[in-house]
Every structure is written in structure tokens, then in C-alpha cells.
């Protein structure tokens, strides 16, 4: 005889399946009828639980991991995190029906990761059972590579989401603090800072951007979101190689960050390059020590890791040595 109260089984089904208590009870009633009342209410509840991949018994062998410690290829992962962002619901057609999906971001004290609620799980959002700020325990998920974010959390039919059973002190409005990483084994997909030296710099490239959203406009100056842009902003892409003595990485700055590093506006640089070529641009940056912050991710097309930079501080050699000694 299994000694777990019927109420608890029903609560577990509610918590993990996305159904309401009313729906669960209706399903139990229906199941009992289908079996012509030869099974008990508890028995029917267990059947509903298994049909919805609800785990009624706790698995004692799992270990909760922090987001910074999960890596592509891992499976059987358990996380406790706060929902920090819910994106718009979308859907795609499969077998003649619309399957809904909703991407969300979850965050713990070490970082954030994206996951997607598919199909029935998307109802957690559409039926208001899961909101920004809720703490979820996600069990039995796997970590997949994502060329944009570095890593994604994926749930399968055996994964479970348990809502607001855990406490987690994370301020989702505060930006995720960048952690220092080194290039021998860099942290991927979450904000990091690196102290390093610029050892190579490429000739800047330019594109025309929408003045509202700063995304690239088409050849006829159309922004996908904002339509025709009257005078698009010349925006610089600056690539350089950063070396921290343990490894090196190709880093990219967009817009003002690159202008700040070189000390010229994109428009001025464009003129300089047109007049005298770009070979000497940024040469004075070679050998400069910088502290950069940004996100490192894999570029599948080139089979290498790259860093997209969101802040750069130049460091004097003295500052750098002092920091390294204190670290």
C-alpha cells in the first residue's frame, strides 16, 4: 500500500502539470468511471499522475546546481531560480494544430539562463500560474548549446516545474553581476569581465543603423520595426583579439564603445579611412591593457568562441599589476 495522502498527490499533479485542482479532480472522476469504479480514487490519481509525467515521489539523488555551473551537454539537471522575464507567446503548426511556446529567462545568484515552455507548460503563463518573480525548481532538465545565448535549458516530458515551494533571495531587477573569468576556461553565456591586453586589432567596419533601435537598416534605409529612417546613424564594428596570458579571444564592440576606444567618431573614422586607408587605425591600441565586460559565446559558423563587449575600461600597467596582485 502506498502511503501518500490523496490530497498531496493532487497537489503534486497541480504543481507539475499546469492543470487546476478542478481539472485534476474531473480527470480522476473520469478515470474512475472509465474503470467502472474498480479502482480507488487514490489509484485513479496515480494514473493521472503518470499520464502527465508527474513525479509523486521525490528522487533523493538529485543535486541542485547553480546556473554558472551548468554547461551544454549536461542532463538530469536541477535548478532553483527566479523567473526574471517572460517573452511573448508564439506558436507553430504541428500535426494540424497550433502548438504554443513561451520563452522565459530564469535567474539565480550566479547568472541567468533561457528556457522555453512548450505546449501544455505554456499554459502556466497563459493561465497566470507562473509570473515574473516566482521561484521555480526545475527538475530533470538538460542544457543545450545556443549560438546566441551560449546555453539554453531544455525540458522534456520527464522534467518538472515546481512553483514557489522554495525561497530564493535574488533581485531580478539588479543586473547580473559580471564574474571575473580567465580565458583558459571562460564562463560562457553569462556576464563576465576579463583583464587582458589587446594583441591584434582589425580595421573597423561600419553599417547604417536605425536611430530608434540601433539595428541595421536595409539598403533603402528601412528598419524592420521603425520603417523608413531619414538619416541613419553610422555605426562602427570593431574587432580585436584580447589576451589574458592564459588564452585569447576575438572580441567585438559595437557603436560608441569602439569610438571611445579609438577616440574618433564613426563618421570621422570613415572619412579618415576613405582618405588614407584603414591599416593604421587603432594601432596605438596594441599592447594596451583593458578590462572588458561582456558575454562569451560560441560562434558555430567559425567553430570558435567570441566575446561581445558591453563595456571597456583602459587600465594603466600600474593599475593592472595592483589588481592582479590583489586578486
Least distance in Å: CB of 235 to Zn ion? 12
Which of 210, 253 has the CB closer to Zn ion?
Answer: 210
Among 177, 179, 213, 317, binds Zn ion (CB under 5 A): 213
If you write DSSP's letter for every residue of 106-159 in order, what string do you get?
A: EEETTEEEEEEEEGGGGHHHHTTSS-TT-EEEEEEEEEEEETTTEEEEEEEEEE
Residues 6+ apart with CB under 8 A from 93: 99
Least distance in Å: CB of 219 to Zn ion? 15
Least distance in Å: CB of 212 to Zn ion? 4
Which of 127, 226 has the CB closer to Zn ion?
Answer: 226
Which of 170, 210 has the CB closer to Zn ion?
Answer: 210
Q: Which of 176, 135, 139 is nearest to 155 (CA)?
A: 139
Which of 118, 206 has the CB closer to Zn ion?
Answer: 206
Which of 34, 213 has the CB closer to Zn ion?
Answer: 213
Distance (Å, whole) CA 210 – CA 222: 8
DSSP state of 232: P
Going by DSSP bridges, is the β-strand pair 179-180/192-201 parallel, antiparallel, or unpaired? parallel
- Coil, strand or helix at 320: helix
If you write DSSP's letter for every residue of 156-210 in order, what string do you get?
A: EEEEEEEES-S-----TTSPPPPEE--TTS---SS-EEEEEEEEEEPPPEEEEE-
Count of CB atoms situated within 10 Å of the CB of 176: 19
Q: Nearest to Zn ion by Cβ — which residue?
A: 210
In the window 214-273, what residues touch Zn ion (CB under 5 A)? Answer: 223, 225-226
Least distance in Å: CB of 222 to Zn ion? 9
In the window 191-210, what residues touch Zn ion (CB under 5 A)? Answer: 210
Least distance in Å: CB of 236 to Zn ion? 18
Which of 37, 212 has the CB closer to Zn ion?
Answer: 212
Least distance in Å: CB of 228 to Zn ion? 10
**Residues that contact Zn ion, how many (by CB under 5 A):** 6
Positions that interact with Zn ion (CB under 5 A): 210, 212-213, 223, 225-226
Amino acid at each position: 500500500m502506498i502511503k501518500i495522502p490523496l490530497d498531496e498527490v493532487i497537489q503534486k499533479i497541480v504543481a507539475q502539470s499546469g492543470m487546476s485542482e478542478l481539472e485534476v479532480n474531473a480527470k480522476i472522476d473520469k478515470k474512475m468511471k472509465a474503470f467502472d469504479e474498480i479502482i480507488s480514487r487514490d489509484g485513479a490519481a496515480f494514473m493521472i499522475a503518470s499520464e502527465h509525467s508527474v513525479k509523486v515521489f521525490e528522487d533523493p539523488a538529485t543535486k541542485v546546481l547553480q546556473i554558472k555551473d551548468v554547461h551544454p551537454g549536461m542532463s538530469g539537471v536541477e535548478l532553483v531560480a527566479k523567473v526574471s522575464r517572460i517573452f511573448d507567446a508564439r506558436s507553430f503548426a504541428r500535426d494540424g494544430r497550433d502548438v504554443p511556446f513561451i520563452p522565459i529567462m530564469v535567474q539565480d545568484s550566479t547568472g541567468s539562463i533561457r528556457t522555453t515552455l512548450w505546449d501544455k507548460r505554456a499554459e502556466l503563463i497563459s493561465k497566470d500560474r507562473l509570473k515574473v518573480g516566482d521561484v521555480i525548481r526545475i527538475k530533470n532538465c538538460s542544457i543545450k548549446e545556443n549560438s546566441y545565448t551560449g546555453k539554453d535549458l531544455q525540458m522534456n516530458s520527464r522534467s518538472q516545474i515546481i512553483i514557489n515551494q522554495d525561497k530564493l533571495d535574488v533581485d531580478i531587477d539588479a543586473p547580473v553581476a559580471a564574474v571575473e573569468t580567465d580565458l583558459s576556461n571562460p564562463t560562457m553565456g553569462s556576464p563576465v569581465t576579463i583583464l587582458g591586453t589587446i594583441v591584434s586589432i582589425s580595421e573597423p567596419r561600419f553599417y547604417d543603423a536605425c536611430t530608434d533601435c540601433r539595428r541595421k537598416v536595409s539598403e533603402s534605409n528601412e528598419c524592420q520595426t521603425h520603417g523608413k529612417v531619414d538619416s541613419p546613424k553610422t555605426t562602427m564594428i570593431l574587432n580585436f583579439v584580447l589576451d589574458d596570458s592564459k588564452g585569447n579571444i576575438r572580441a567585438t564592440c559595437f557603436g560608441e564603445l569602439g569610438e571611445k576606444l579609438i577616440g574618433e567618431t564613426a563618421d570621422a573614422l570613415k572619412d579618415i579611412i576613405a582618405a588614407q586607408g584603414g591599416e593604421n587605425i587603432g594601432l596605438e591600441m596594441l599592447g594596451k591593457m583593458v578590462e572588458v565586460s561582456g558575454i562569451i559565446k560560441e560562434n558555430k559558423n567559425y567553430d570558435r568562441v567570441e566575446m561581445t563587449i558591453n563595456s571597456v575600461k583602459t587600465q594603466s600597467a600600474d593599475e593592472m599589476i595592483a589588481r592582479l596582485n590583489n586578486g
